[in-house]
Structure 1
Amino acid sequence: MSIGNVSAVLVHGAWADGSSWSKVVERLKAYGIHAVAAPLPLTGLHEDVAALNRTLERIDGPVVVAGHAYAGAVIGSTRAGNVKALVYVAALAPAEGEAVSDVFYRGETHPLAPTLSPDRHGLIWLPEEAFAAAFAQHASAQELTVLSAIQRPISVSCIGEAVGRPLWMDRPSWFLTAEQDRMINPDTQHFMAQRMNARVHSHEVDHTPIVTAPDVVTNVIVEAVQAVAAR
């Protein structure tokens, strides 16, 4: 099978939208890989999984699904039959019975990590200064302006809902651990990747390498696509 027959579905995390994957989409296209960014409502884990499934239904053929940060819980909760491999990018991978909050708060918090609390609508917004301090400290001033301007809040219910049997128990997975991550403790990322038995790529990148290190992210996704195509 040609790698061009394997599609990539890219899933954004909290405080972001599909445009956060734009640099990766461009690079995957250069490899001849069709990529789609799945829009999540960020209103509840089960609703986000349903949204991902709607995107996956539109794609014929095998798919590699990549998730950033919170989206790791979403991609691990799909049951779509066309998903053949998973790629976790500085992502959260709760095991069966765990919630996102269980793994997010598992390790020690970075001194520059923001304090997160919901507003009166039950939505969690990232403080504007946190984008430069912790979310994407390697981003340019222009990138930070855009990230802050387009941020989308995440509902408390997204992080408190326990997951079922995660798909990574039944599909090959890759994990890009971000060694300079100030949002998700790198030690927690290594813990999750090890228990997933994932193929690990560790890089000195921040929490949002899909913006600040797109070549690194693209290379991991391409490796996963090539593995699927070779079967």
Structure 2
Amino acid sequence: MANPVLLNNVDHKDLRVITRRGDAWGDNLMLAVTFPAEFRTLQGHYPIVFRKSNEGAFEPVALFGFQEGENLFLRDGRWDATDLPLSVERLPFMIGVSGQELIMHVDLDNPRVSSSEGEPVFLPHGGNTEFLERMNSTLLALHQGLQDIAGFTEALLQNELLESFVFDIELNDGSQNRLAGFYTINEDRLAALDGAVLERMNRAGYLAAVYFALASLSNFRALIERKNGHA
């Protein structure tokens, strides 16, 4: 359970953040939420698919594994990809809203939070470290990117471009695995869209994201190989 509090340089003057990667620091994630502007960088590493959130809205996610708690990108204390989703990179920080102002919170129950090791958040005299400034920028980019999800998924639904899929996997050891409960772009319906619809989607910045999401599906083969290597 998260324990977010408003970050400040008095109560948290000794706060440090562990930046190593591994299960012990909460990286045993099967997936992470992403957003259209991030697809360009993530599609080189992860399959990007869609799921329904707990509130029933569709959201895009980057897949790291095939089952809960499985992250096939963790290798010897590092994340084996050059780009992390911002929703992962920003931890243990999160954005809060106070009126019209965005404010920074820290989850004190996150395993990355420490007072003895990791990157310092504040300078000895109370100023922000470069690490905190970078996290601030990361949070802002994430906040802005997440605002695009509703419009993007609405455009996909209006044009009936999302379809559910089931992905059956047989590993080298003969074991059977199934990935279900996710959605992807229907390529036939995409190809049938008329020019006016494609132009609207392109002007909104959604068309490139659609093709990046489709291109990312080629990463399923690499993800299976990672699974075979972990088996």
TM-score (norm: length of structure 1): 0.28
More helix by share: 1
More strand by share: 2
